[in-house]
Amino acid sequence: MSDIGRMYIDGEWVLSGSGETREVINPADGSILASVTEGTADDVKKAVAAARRAFDKDGWQDTTPHERAALLRAVCTKLERDREPLLKLETLDNGKPLRETGYDVDDTIGCFRYYAGMAEKPTGQTFSVPDPNIQTMVVREPIGVCGQIVPWNYPLLMAAWKLAPALAAGNTVVFKPSELTPLSAIRLFEIFEEVGFPKGVVNLVLGAGATVGHEIAANHGVDKVAFTGGTKTGRSIMQAATGNLKGISLELGGKSPNIVFADADLESAVDYALFAIFCNQGQVCSAGSRLLLEESIQDAFLARLVERANKIRVGPGSSPASEMGPLISESHLNRVLAYVEIGRQEGATLLCGGNRLTEGELGKGWFMRPTIFTDTTPDMRIVKEEVFGPFLVVQTFRTEAEAIEMANDTEYGLAGGVFTPDGAKAMRVIRKLRAGITWINTYNPTFNEAPWGGYKQSGIGRELGTFGYEEYTEVKQINLNLNPGMSGWFEF
């Protein structure tokens, strides 16, 4: 990259017309990683115009699936070549441990490869209709210009989740990464340029959500907007998108239940309960942030849970020994710490953590101990609101019915887990959970082949799998008269 990270608009690396820049900060030590140009609404308009021309006039929508698949496979090859520097860059930018960014980069490659294959698969349907002279069919066509906005918790992987299906389906894109973590997106667009995507097909605009993100959502040249992030921002995007009734897909927040029955294997359930909430510092939309324990195992379970939580090695993501890295920013750390005080004021019991780590080199970054609250009630803010950090609340239940009611007592509906060796009970509970992504005797595995998205205020639409591909297509009905002639409807 150049001294100032640039945007990629219409096949050119450009600075914003505003002349403003933004510093990208390493959350592990507060150091400046890079300076990047700060985009504006005018930069979005230029990118949309380029994407519009590439789709409407330059022939991108007429490319064959095989041509698009070849470009996506070439991206995979370059990503594999650059795997090690990419995962190190992602760790510096986001803070998560190297072992996590390794999985992220590999999943990114897998996502592009999956949708390269999807582009070449059969699509459409044919129908037998009452009129024997009419052949009816349905085809899927690209939507057009797609605006895409991703968060900072999985910068590269979330980019792949949106870009890969959109490009495979034949759309052009205007893409905005989080202003906190733009570096891997810049590198990805360098790869797009390297493999030969035509001018205007892929456009990268950097900048703040309130300006760049809002213009993407409101711009009438954009046919669809896809967003991953907070529910409050999702509502704003929905409102901005009404101007031209553009399509929307939203993957939003969660306060997901992880239900553990008394017959579950304690060690395994404890292990997954930790993984469900403390992976990626709890900065995961689908995190198992509410642990629902059957009352009879509460004491034994929590004793082991706290023992293990206190042993989690918190440190810079670049250290191979680190199991949990820093939070993304100082302001976000302070927000999570504020919930600790809220929990105390509400009368919950803090079992462990709840404080910033300041000893030694950790004092330069935004580190927090794994935090667990118990003695909670359903009306507490720490139980109802998404904290988005290493912050677990514990609830207890006595019956299966009570567990289901408690699990569904939330405005969200993204994810949920159930731990029990009783397969019938597990399926009964999972079937009753109002959530889009669920697990039995595991938590967190995600696959490019399977849909991702939630119920209620956790979003609209789905990503990944065939569902994610279809989100970037329009359905067109075609009726062909096999026996052309006069309709005979009106008299001569």
Instruction: For residue 436, give the 3-state DSSP assignment.
Output: coil
- Beta strands 172-176 and 202-204 are parallel
- Rounded distance between C-alpha atoms, residue 423 and residue 282, angstroms: 28
Burial of 85 (0-12, 13-18, 19+ CB in 10 A): exposed
CA dihedral 326, 327, 331, 332 (to 10 degrees): -160
- Rounded distance between C-alpha atoms, residue 317 and residue 28, angstroms: 7
**Dihedrals φ, ψ of 292, to 5°?**
-105, 110
Q: Which residue has the tokens 């072992």?
A: 99
- Rounded distance between C-alpha atoms, residue 52 and residue 73, angstroms: 24
- Beta strands 257-260 and 290-294 are parallel
Residues noted as catalytic: 251, 285
- Rounded distance between C-alpha atoms, residue 9 and residue 172, angstroms: 12
For 366, the token pair is 């935004």
Q: Are 281 and 390 contacting, i.e. CB atoms less than 8 angstroms apart?
A: yes
